[in-house]
Amino acid sequence: MKTFAPAALVAVLLTGCSTSTDASDERPGTGAPSAASGAAPRITVSVPDGATAQAPGTALRVTAAGGTLTQVNVAPEDGGDGKAHVRVPGTFDTSRRTWSAGRTLSPATTYAVHATATGPDGRHATTSTRFTTLTPRRTNRALLGPLEHQAVGIGMPVTLRFDHPVTDKAAVEKRLKVATTPKVSGSWGWVRDPLTGQERADWRPAAFWRPGTRVAVTAALSGVDTGGGRYLRRDISSTFRIGTAQITRVDLAAHRLTVTENGRTLRTMPVSGGGPATPTYNGTMVVLGKVPDIRMNSETVGLGDAYDMDVKWAVHLTTSGTYLHAAPWNAARIGNSNASHGCIGLTTSDAQWLYDRLRPGDPVITTGSTGRTVDAGNGLGDWNVPYGQWKGRSAL
């Protein structure tokens, strides 16, 4: 993990808007205030007043000599990127002589530091300084899911997708927090989409979510270097809830699909999966989204000119292009053979019924295909990794 050496501690003489200490109030030769003389405490900020281009990972500290800190406030001066009035959290040591920032700083931001201290005789000192963090030449962006206040299925992991690869995964993961009600244990794991190369960190429990669980995710990522000086510039957060336990099971050996809700069978319907040359994936896929009408072109998935058609009631399962959808052109094979190019086809009426019921996060578990198990990064295939191995994908 990349670290930044703290800036040298620089004494901030309390002048101008600061309370100064008289030379007569100091011990000879020490520069330190004397409690006996009643001198005011001296406050020091680790980043010099007026400093520019400070690294966001700078270890910001405020210290008091000859007294204890009573208050420290560090916050952005400007309102850019929604940072106005957002305090930098920090902690005091047990003696309250040192305050240390509890997070990275936002890039390209001017911070104001205001601190007060009190001496043994009750005399006060204050200081106000300001400094600016560097404007990075390279940045990264993270997208958090599910969306705020969304209701999702029991198979939906927390997802954090990055525009660029993350080489310092531990630095990122340390800034992530998942809180659930009721409490659920789980783990972050890193995956990469085998087709797009997009990297993401997902958080999932050991087994599917319990219906009704509420989840709050906080990613305090502003100022985190994802590797090689490529910084994240914003904090992001989301809260969502888990809906009913709706599971779709597809048996491609029997050419049947069964939908259950909270353990009760709702409907069984005939299907046709991928043929011998283009078999459907086995394993657990998760509904990514759905569209009532979509144009499917085989050239977009590397199958030449095999097909180019409008498809109804399409439920998206993998980034590589697996869907559940209506396949009226394949009516003779639905329920008795697998002959598609990898998708799972249904009659139009069954496809519409399924489309109306499924929502993002609902798991679709496929067995009986001659194909391989779907990769963890292809869509939301996290559940195909045993939980013990999943925890091993955490950078921490």
Q: Which residues are catalytic?
A: 325, 343
Contacts of 322 (CB under 8 A, 6+ apart): 280, 281, 285, 316, 342, 343, 344, 374, 379
How far, in Å, CA of 21 to CA of 19, rounded? Answer: 7
Question: What are the CA-CA distances from residue 209 to residues 78, 205, 247, 331 (Å)?
Answer: 41, 7, 12, 36
Structure tokens at 379: 């869509």
Q: How many CB atoms lie within 10 A of CB 396?
A: 10
Separate counts of helices (H) and strands (E) for the chain:
3, 27
How far, in Å, CA of 72 to CA of 128, rounded? Answer: 10
Per DSSP, the three-state class of 171 is helix
How far, in Å, CA of 226 to CA of 56, rounded? Answer: 12
Structure tokens at 110: 């001017």
How far, in Å, CA of 88 to CA of 111, rounded? Answer: 9
Question: What is the four-CA torsion angle of 30, 32, 36, 38, rounded to 10 degrees?
Answer: 140
How far, in Å, CA of 119 to CA of 126, rounded? Answer: 12
3-state helix, strand, coil in the chain (%, to 5): 10, 40, 50
Per DSSP, the three-state class of 391 is helix
Cross-strand bridge partners of residue 118: 68, 124
How far, in Å, CA of 149 to CA of 70, rounded? Answer: 39
Structure tokens at 339: 């002959």
